[in-house]
Amino acid sequence: MEPPDIGSITFSGTTYINGQSGEYVAGTYQIEANVPKGYIFYNWIATGRFSVANSEPQQTNVIMRVSGSLITIFKCSSDLEEL
């Protein structure tokens, strides 16, 4: 997650915080970004053999082919007010 150490990801019903991982077989899974107070969800980034159906919504699906990782980007809501 970016910034680090805030928020969490719910992956197929299991919640993970920064640095945690799980083992899953290849397939399509539902993901959701759990946005911390003072932030807004910005987008998803998938690496390795993961792909995200749509990187813009807070809740979407990820397709796993082998291994990879997900990154959730949050923006501080006060930073957006200054724009």
Residue 4 predicted with pLDDT over 70: no
The secondary structure element, H or E, covering residue 81 is helix 77-81
Listed by start position, the domains of the chain span: 8-76
Peptide bond into 4 cis (omega under 30): no
Kindly report the pTM of this predicted structure: 0.82
Average pLDDT, whole number, for the chain?
88
Query: Cα angle at 39 between 52 and 47, to 5 degrees?
Result: 25
Q: How far apart are CA 81 and CA 73, in angstroms?
A: 18
Token pair for residue 61? 């699906």
> What is the amino acid identity at position 70?
L
